[in-house]
Chains A and B, each alone.
Chain A
C-alpha cells in the first residue's frame, strides 16, 4: 500500500492536484473506515435485535445468574464443590475438569502418537503393520462413537463394587471406576513439590550449560539422564530426610461404594482413552511425515561422522523433523481440547456439560453459550500462542531473514 505522498504515482506523474475522492490513499482509508463502521453496526444490530427479542418474549437476560446458587450436584471435581455453591463455581469446576482431561490427554496422545508414528516406519513387518492398522482404523471412526464404545465397555464389562477386581493390594477395579490408595496429606508433600519444581529448574539449567559447552568444545554430557535424575531424585531425598512417611488412605468397601483413596471415574477414563487413541492416530501420521521429511542422506552423513544412531536421531533428525511437526501438532492439541466437549455424551462434567445444565436451569442460553465460547477461545488461543512461541524457538535461525 502506498502510504506516503511521494510514492503516489498520480501525483508524481501528472504534477497537478488530483481531486481528493480520486486519491488512492484517501480512498483506501475511506474504504477501511466504512468496512469497520459497517461491521460494528452489524454487531450492534444483532446484539440489540437479540436483546429486544429476548425482552419481547420475557426471557431473563444478563449475567446475574452467575452469583446465584446452582443447586445441582457434579459427579467429580478438582476443587471442593457442593450444590450450595454458585453457578460461577460450577462453571469453574467444569473448566478445571476440561483442562484436566485436556492436559493429560495432550501428554498421552503425544507419547502414543510418537510411538506409533515411529513404529509405522519400523523395518519389523509385524510392528509396522500393527501401527498401520491402529492408525487407519481409529482415525476413520467418529470420536463420539469411540467414546460410547469405551464407556459401555467399562460399565458393561467390569463387575459391580461388591465384586470388584482386586489386582494389587489397595487397588480396586469395578464399574464405579478405578480406586487407588492415596497418601494422607502431610507438610512433607509440600516440600516434595518444591523439590520437584527445583529439580525442573535445575534440569533446565543443566541442559543449557551442557548445550553451550557442547557448542563451544564439542564435549558431550548426558544431560537427559542427569536432568531426569534431578527431577525424580530431589523429591525422594526430601521424602527420605523427613523420615519417609508412608501413611496411606486405602479404599474400603463401605455401604454402597468405596470410601477413601482416589477415584478415577469410568466417565473420565472413557473420555481420556477415546480422545488419546483418536488424536494419537493423527499425531502418529504427523510424526511419520516429519521424520520422512528429513532427507535420509543426513542420517547417512551423521553415521559416517561416527555418531551413534541415538545421537543422529537426537542431534540431526529430530531438530529438523520438529520444524515440520510442530505446526500441525498444534492443530491436533487444539482438536483434542475442543473434542473434550463431547464429554457431555458420557456424563463427564466438563465445561460444556456443566454450562449446559446451568443454561437449562436458568433458561439463559445466549449468556451460557457466550461463556462457553469465550472460554474455549481463550484456552485454544493460549495453546496456540504457546506452540507458536515454541515453534519460533526451534525454527532455523536466520532462515526467515
Chain B
C-alpha cells in the first residue's frame, strides 16, 4: 500500500506543478506599461559596476549614462525618475534577463547587433553611446599598435561581442591569440591589473573607465590607437510589445532632442512659456504627443526636469565633469559633427 500512497502523492505534486505552470502561457498577454504602472516602478537591467555607465556611487545611488535612460523612462511613465528598480546583470545574464521578462528594459552598454535584434528576441530602441573596441596595455610592454600583439595573452569578458571581434581581428591579421575569458567584469579587470594578461580588450569607453578607476596608477597604462569594431551601445526591450518599445525609444530621443533645442534641467521650467511651437509640443503645453504612447503629455518635460538632456547626462557621467574625461566625438549632436540625431518630436 505504501507504493500506492507514494504514487498518489506524486500525482498530487504533478497537479500542483501544473497549476503553477499554467500562468506561464498567459503571462505574455498584459502590455508592459500596465505591468509597470501596477508595480509602481520600472525594472531596469544595468551593469554591475561600470563607472560612467552604470554603477552605484559612494552613497549607493545608481549613476551613469545607461542609468539615466532607466531614469528617463521612469520619469516619462511616473513623472518621477526615482521609481526604478535596478537589477545589476553580468554580460552573460543580460540577454536572458530581457528574454524572460525579468527586466522591463536593458540599459547596460549592450552592442546592437543583427542577431541580438532578431534571433535573440530583443528590440533595440536606439543608441545612447557610439563606441568602438580597443586594446589597453601596460606602458612597460612598449607596444605602440594592436598589430604588434601577436602571441599576446588578452583578457576579455565572456558573453560579449568583444570576444567575437577579438577572435576575428587576430584571425584576419594572422596573429596568434591567447585569450583569457572570465565572466565577471571585476574579475577580468583584476586579472589584467595583476598582470595575468598582456592586454585587455573592451569598448574604448570601458577601457577608459578601467584605467581611471581600477588601475593603481592610470598613467602606467595606454589605450592603443586601433579601433577594431563598431560598437553602437543602446537600450533594448523584449519583442512583442510595440507600445513599450515606443516609450523607451522616445524617452532617449527626448533627451537628444532636448539638447538640440537647448532645453536643460535648469531652463525647462522657464521654457514652458516659450513661444516656439516645437518646444510647446514637446513639453506638452500644446498637443497630445504623450497620449499616443499611453503616457502623460508632460512626459518629455518630466524627463528633462529630472534627468536633463543628453549632453548634461554625457558630461556628468563620462565627459569632462567625470573621471573618464571622454570627448563627445561621435556622440556629439549631428549638427556638431557627431551622430546623435533625434527624429522630429511632433
A residues at B contact (CB < 8 Å): 1, 28, 31-32, 34-35, 38-39, 42, 45-46, 49, 52-54, 56-60, 71-75, 82-84, 148, 151-152, 155-156, 160, 175-176, 254-257, 259, 266-267, 344-347, 349, 353, 356-357, 359-363, 365
Residues from chain A with a CB closer than 8 A to the CB of B171 are: 82-84
**Secondary structure of the A contact surface, majority rule:** helix
Is the Cβ of A60 less than 8 Å from the Cβ of B119?
yes
Across the interface, which residues of A come within 8 angstroms of B24, CB to CB? 49, 53
Q: How far is the CB of B285 from chain A (nearest CB, A)?
A: 39
Chain A residues in 8 Å Cβ range of B116: 363
Within 8 A of A (CB), among B1-37: 3-4, 7-8, 10-11, 14-15, 17-18, 21, 24-25, 28
**Is residue B95 contacting chain A, with contact meaning CB distance below 8 A?**
yes
Do B164 and A361 touch across chains, with their CB atoms under 8 A apart? yes
Q: Tell me whether A155 and B191 are in contact (CB under 8 A).
A: yes
Contact in complex: B121, A58 (CB < 8 Å): yes
Q: Of B179, B183, B239, which contacts A345 at CB under 8 A?
A: B183
Residue B163, interface by CB 8 Å = yes
Min CB distance B241 to A, Å, is 10
Query: Contacts A35-B7, A155-B191, A175-B194 known; A72 to B167 CB distance under 8 Å?
Result: yes
Cβ of A42 and Cβ of B14 under 8 Å apart? Answer: yes
The answer to whether residues A347 and B11 also contact, given A58-B121, A59-B120, A73-B166 and a CB cut-off of 8 A, is no
A57 touches B240 (CB 8 A): yes
Interface, chain B (partner A; CB < 8 A): 3-4, 7-8, 10-11, 14-15, 17-18, 21, 24-25, 28, 91-92, 95-96, 99, 115-116, 118-121, 141, 149-153, 158-160, 163-164, 166-168, 170-171, 177-184, 187-188, 190-191, 194-196, 198, 238-240
Report B-chain residues with C-beta under 8 Å of the C-beta of A267: 180
Contacts A/B (CB < 8 Å), 5 sampled:
A42-B17, A56-B240, A57-B121, A346-B187, A363-B120
A46, A59, A73, A345: which contacts B121 (Cβ < 8 A)?
A: A59
Provide the bound-state CA to CA distance between A154 and B173, in Å. Answer: 32
Report yes or no: B178 in contact with A38, Cβ–Cβ below 8 A: no
Q: Which residues of the other chain, A, contact B118 by a CB distance below 8 angstroms?
A: 58
State the CA gap A353–B159 with chains docked (Å).
10
Complex: chain A residue closest to B120, CB-CB = A363
Contact assessment for A75 and B25 in the assembled complex, using a CB-CB cutoff below 8 Å: no
Cross-chain contact A155 with B194 (CB below 8 angstroms): yes
Q: Is the CB of B21 within 8 A of A46?
A: yes
Chain B contacts of A160 at CB under 8 A?
Answer: 195
Contact A152 B190 (CB under 8 A): yes
CB distance from A386 to the nearest CB of B (A): 29
Other than the known A28-B4, A156-B194, A255-B151, what 19 A-B pairs have Cβ atoms closer than 8 Å?
A35-B14, A42-B14, A42-B18, A45-B21, A58-B121, A72-B163, A73-B177, A73-B179, A73-B181, A75-B179, A148-B187, A151-B191, A176-B153, A257-B152, A257-B153, A267-B180, A359-B96, A361-B164, A363-B119
- Assess the B3–A1 pair: CB atoms within 8 A: yes
- Chain A nearest CB from B64 CB (Å) reads 22
**Chain B neighbourhood of A54, CB < 8 A:** 121
B238 touches A57 (CB 8 A): yes
